[in-house]
Chain A
Amino acid sequence: MASVLSGALRLWNVAGTITISGSGLELTHADAAIQDLTPLRIMPRTPHGWLIVRGAETLGVHAGLPGLLRQLREELAPNVKAGRLIIGAQSLL
């Protein structure tokens, strides 16, 4: 999980690090465009899913990695354009 988040930061050109913190992860970032540089904590949620916490505030609750990545991108790299999967009509074979 830590490597996926680290890779996502690189993909979005966000200067930051991921460290393991207790049962979760801590994301420290230093992007000048983001005013609040308080580290984000990514906490596992029972029975599954993830919480994003900044200080005492819960920023988001996600059932899985796709939602978690989406919110992190919106928080840390709001200018990065999001793509959208399109399934065409044509059969491949």
Chain B
Amino acid sequence: MTALPVSVITGFLGSGKTTLLSRLLRDPAFARTAVIINEFGAVGLDHLLVESSDEQILMLEGGCVCCTVRGDLVRTAGDLLARRAAGAITPFERIVVETTGLAEPAPIVHALMTDRDIADALRLESVIATVDAATGAATLDAHPESVKQAALADCIVVTKSDLADPAANGLAARLQALNPGAPKLTAVRGAVDASRLFQGTYDPARYDPALYEAPAHRHGSISTFCLRRDKPLHAATLSLFLQVVAEHCGAKLLRLKGLVDVVESPGRPAVIHGVQHVFHPPAWLDGWPDNDRSTRIVVISQGLDARWLQDLLEVLEEEVNACSIS
């Protein structure tokens, strides 16, 4: 069974998620998209603003998908898949989940990645964050949820760029500091190059170390940095490193993604990707995507020390190396 792509559109209240989604669904290339909309209010309205066939828009109301209705999200996605399999609805090719403006994306991504009822049938494709060009900077200052939304995104869409210039008001620089690897698209009334929205969680361009040159990029308490290593790591080291990070760093680790040169797999680097303590199984490339053969691990965190993580990696490799020699 081929896993269907599922993407998450997040972004603060009023940042243009629904407008983006509505515009997207009018694009013939994305017409066969099922949509799950989460609204915090008791009576949902957003689905009325999205022009699409009603059968493929489902509402999650009465709570926020990142906390109280996470189970509902899983059940709704499972129900959509079952109805698709039974031929009861138009066979959609993608699911898009629109979160509430206050949602933290990580728990939603966790649910989509790990719930046993849906994880096999779905493939996390992209986390897209909308940021209002006019109010985005103030929102980043005032609402930590909006910072996490932008930091975790695979792609950031700056909306309402007809109302304000994100370069002039400093928003563009702040988003670049917050999430250097994510492409930044601009949208006017939801119009955006849709083909760039869904490029997947793995994109070789995001591992360009130049994006993360020291000192680490900082945005308030959130920092982004890249761990590098020129010599290959043992697979056991990589496994232990991820275990230690997951065990001790907790929610301070927002996102970790990397290309890893593994001793046991010469010439075939591993791609790793995790949101907080939840990771995809490592994937193996047939070859390096560029001329750089070094291990590059990009970390977006809230208060983690780049030096500590680098030292941790080195000590673990020393220990594994000592065990393999003795």
Q: Does A55 contact B (CB under 8 A)?
A: no
Q: Does B3 contact A (CB under 8 A)?
A: yes
Q: Does A88 contact B (CB under 8 A)?
A: yes
Say whether A91 contacts B316, CB under 8 Å: no
**CB interface residues, A 9-65, toward B, < 8 Å:** 10-12, 47-48, 64-65
A-chain residues with CB within 8 Å of residue B273 when the two chains form the complex? 92
Q: Distance (Å) between the CB of A92 and the closest chain B CB? A: 4
Q: Distance (Å) between the CB of B27 and the closest chain A CB? A: 25
Stretch at the interface among B29-37, B182-190, B218-226, B276-284: B276-284
A-chain residues with CB within 8 Å of residue B323 when the two chains form the complex? 48, 64
Residue ID in chain B nearest A7 by CB atoms: B308
Task: Report if A92-B244 is in contact (Cβ < 8 Å); known contacts: A7-B311, A81-B250.
Answer: no
Q: How far is the CA of A8 from the CA of B246 in the complex (A)?
A: 13
Tell me how many residues of B have a C-beta within 8 Å of chain A.
Answer: 47
B-chain residues with CB within 8 Å of residue A8 when the two chains form the complex? 248, 308
Q: Does B127 contact A (CB under 8 A)?
A: no
Interface size classification for chain A: 20 to 34
B-chain residues with CB within 8 Å of residue A85 when the two chains form the complex? 242-243, 246-247, 277, 279
Say whether A86 contacts B279, CB under 8 Å: yes
Q: Distance (Å) between the CB of B246 and the closest chain A CB? A: 4
Say whether A83 contacts B308, CB under 8 Å: no
Task: Report if A83-B279 is in contact (Cβ < 8 Å); known contacts: A10-B305, A90-B3, A91-B123.
Answer: no
Task: Report if A66-B281 is in contact (Cβ < 8 Å); known contacts: A4-B308, A48-B322, A92-B273.
Answer: no
Task: Report if A88-B119 is in contact (Cβ < 8 Å); known contacts: A4-B312, A65-B316.
Answer: yes
Q: How far is the CA of A90 from the CA of B279 in the complex (A)?
A: 9
Contact with B along A76-93 (1 / 0, CB 8 A): 000001111111111111
Say whether A11 contacts B113, CB under 8 Å: no
Q: Does B89 contact A (CB under 8 A)?
A: no
Contact partner of B243 (CB less than 8 A), chosen from A3, A11, A12, A66, is A66
B-chain residues with CB within 8 Å of residue A12 when the two chains form the complex? 248
Say whether A65 contacts B250, CB under 8 Å: no
Say whether B240 contacts A64, CB under 8 Å: yes
Between-chain CB contacts (< 8 Å), 17 pairs: A3-B311, A7-B311, A11-B304, A48-B319, A65-B240, A66-B316, A73-B248, A86-B277, A87-B280, A87-B281, A88-B113, A88-B280, A89-B120, A90-B3, A90-B123, A91-B280, A92-B283
Report A's interface with B, CB cutoff 8 A: 1, 3-4, 7-8, 10-12, 47-48, 64-66, 69-70, 73, 81-93
